[in-house]
Structure 1
Amino acid sequence: MSENDIARIVVDVALHIHKETGPGLLESVYEVILADELERRGLSVHRQVPIPIKYKGRVLGEGFRADLIIDEKVIIELKSIEHVKDVHKKQLLTYLKLSGRKLGLLINFGESLIKNGITRVVNGL
């Protein structure tokens, strides 16, 4: 399954979750629900995955944690805030670069209209 196929499924599931729960829950709650729903659709989901810092050919330990990695291809960064800022998009792009992945989705469940809270971030896709 391609990154784009995975992203379509994730977006569909996020829309359904937001419709069911609405905005305002903690990010960790959305993470658990989203992971469960994606696994029910047959996707491999890993939560809170350490992303090591790589610098000058050396691995310098754990730098960050990706909220979700789907089928080892797509990183999902979740938020439950009023507005996403550019720094959140840059954070996801950094995760993609450090992990060598090509596609990430920044999903802000805090938006009143979830479609306004989904941002696609690419790294050479």
Structure 2
Amino acid sequence: MTENEISSKIIGAAIEVHKQLGPGLLESTYETCLTHELTEEGLNVRRQVLLPIEYKSLRLDAGYRIDLIVEEKVIIELKVVDEFNSIHIAQLLTYLKLSKNKLGILLNFNVSRLKDGVRRVVNNL
């Protein structure tokens, strides 16, 4: 399955979660429900994945955690914010670079329509 095919399933599942729950809940609630939806779709999903950094040939745990990684190809970063800003995009791009993945999706569940809270971020390896 390609990153774009996975992305399409992720966005569909996120829309379903948002339709059922609406805005205003904790990020962890959306994470749990989105994980359930994606698993029901038959996708492999890992939550709160540790992401070490390499520093001077050392592999160090610097406290980074990927919210969700789907099929080991697409990173999902969940937010419950008024709007995305540049630091959210930079955070996801850093996760993509450190994990050597190409595609990430920012999902902001604090919106009236989820399509207004979706942002794809591409890592041009």
Residue in 2 that maps onto 1:6: 6
Letter in 1 for 2:47: R
Q: Deviations over 1:89-116 (max 9, x none)?
A: 1000000000011100000000112111
TM-score (norm 1): 0.95
Asked whether the equivalents of residues 53 and 63 of structure 1 are also in contact (C-alpha less than 8 Å), the reply is no
Residue in 2 that maps onto 1:22: 22
Counterpart CA distance in 2 for 1:73 and 1:62 is 22
Residue in 2 that maps onto 1:74: 74
TM-score (norm 2): 0.95
* SS state at 2:51 partner: strand
Identity of aligned residues (%): 54
Match runs of 1:1-125 below 5 Å: 1-124=1-124
C-alpha RMSD of matched pairs (Å)? 1.2
* SS state at 2:124 partner: coil
- Following TM superposition, by how much is the alpha carbon of 1:11 offset from its aligned partner in structure 2, in angstroms? 0.3
Q: Which runs of 5+ in 2 are unaligned?
A: none
Counterpart CA distance in 2 for 1:57 and 1:113 is 45
- Following TM superposition, by how much is the alpha carbon of 1:58 offset from its aligned partner in structure 2, in angstroms? 2.8
Q: Which runs of 5+ in 1 are unaligned?
A: none
Q: Where has structure 1 moved over 4 Å in runs of 4 or more?
A: none
Q: Deviations over 1:23-74 (max 9, x none)?
A: 1110000000000010000000000000111234431224400000000100
Letter in 1 for 2:114: I
* SS state at 2:52 partner: strand
